[in-house]
Amino acid sequence: MITKNELDKLAQKYETQSFIKDDPILFIHKFKTKKDIELAGFIASLLAYGSRKQFIKKLDQLFEIAQNEPLNFIQNFEAGLIGDFNYRFGKPNDFIAIFEILKELYNTTDGLEELFEHGYKQNKMFKIVVDYFYARAGENAKQGFYHMIPNPHNGGAMKRMCMYLRWMVRKSAVDVGIWKFMKPSELYIPLDVHVGRISREMGLLTRNANDFKAVIELTENLKKFCPEDPIKYDFALFGYGVSGGK
C-alpha cells in the first residue's frame, strides 16, 4: 500500500491553482457571490462526465446562454432560453426540467445549501436532494435528466454529487468552502473509473466495482491518513491518474 508520506506529497503536488484551469471547478471561480458560486458549481457538476475537453466546451456555451449570471438566469428562467442546447444524454427538455426546478427552489427557499443541509440533518442527504428533483420532474424529463441527477438507491458512486460537495465544503487553493453545515471529514471521495484504478494500484481499494460501497471503502482508508480532511487525496488520485504518474 502507498504510504501517507507518498500520498501527501502527491496531494500537495496536484492541489494547486494550476489545477483549476482544466477542471470544471473553473466555472465556480468566475463568480464572487455565494448563490452564483453554488449554482455555477451545481450546473458544472451536471455536465462533468465524458471528455473533459468536450464538457468544458459545452459548459462555456451554457454559461454564455446564462450571460454569466447563474442566479439571475435561474430565477428568471424561461424554457425558450435553452434553444437546442444539449450534451450527450442531456437533451433540451432535460435541461429545461432541471432549471425549472432550480427556479422554484431559488424563488421559494434559500437555495441549494438549504436543500443539502436539510438532507444532511436528516442523515440522508443524497436521497432528499434527489427526491426533491424527482418529485418535480415532469414527463418531459427523460434519460438525460436521470443521468445528470442519478438515483442513490441504485448504489452508484454519485461521483458528481460527491465532487460538488467537495467544492462547496472544503476550503483550499482549489475548493471554495462556502458551505459550513458539514465538515470536510464527512465528505465522500468522488469515484470514477480512473480514481478507482489508481486506488487499486496503490492498495487503497479492494472492491472491484466502482459503486458506493467502493466509495465508502476508499474514503475510510483515506481517513486513516488524514481523518480531518480525507478528500484532499482526491487531487493525488485524480491528478496522478490524469498525468500518467508524472
**Segment 12-36 mean pLDDT:** 95
CA angle 99, 105, 107 (to 5 degrees): 100
- 159-169 and 112-121 helices cross at what angle (nearest 10)? 100
Q: Are 87 and 55 in contact (CB under 8 A)?
A: yes
- How large a percentage of the chain has pLDDT more than 90? 94
Percent pLDDT > 70 in the chain is 98
C-alpha 242/C-alpha 172 separation (Å) is: 21
Alpha carbon distances (Å) from 238 to 12, 78, 88, 153, 193: 13, 37, 23, 26, 10
Residue 138 is predicted with a pLDDT of 87
Enclosing domain of residue 232: 4-242
| DSSP structure class, residue 82 | T
When pLDDT is averaged across residues 121-138 and rounded to a whole number, the result is: 97
pLDDT at 238 (0 to 100): 85
**Helix, strand, coil percentages in the chain from 3-state DSSP, rounded to 5:** 65, 0, 35
Question: How does DSSP classify residue 79?
Answer: G
Average pLDDT, the chain: 96
pLDDT in tens, 190-235: 999 999 999 999 999 999 999 999 999 999 999 999 999 999 999 9
Which spans in the chain are helix H?
4-14, 34-46, 52-65, 70-75, 92-108, 112-121, 125-134, 143-148, 159-169, 193-201, 212-223, 233-242
Query: How many domains in the chain?
Result: 1
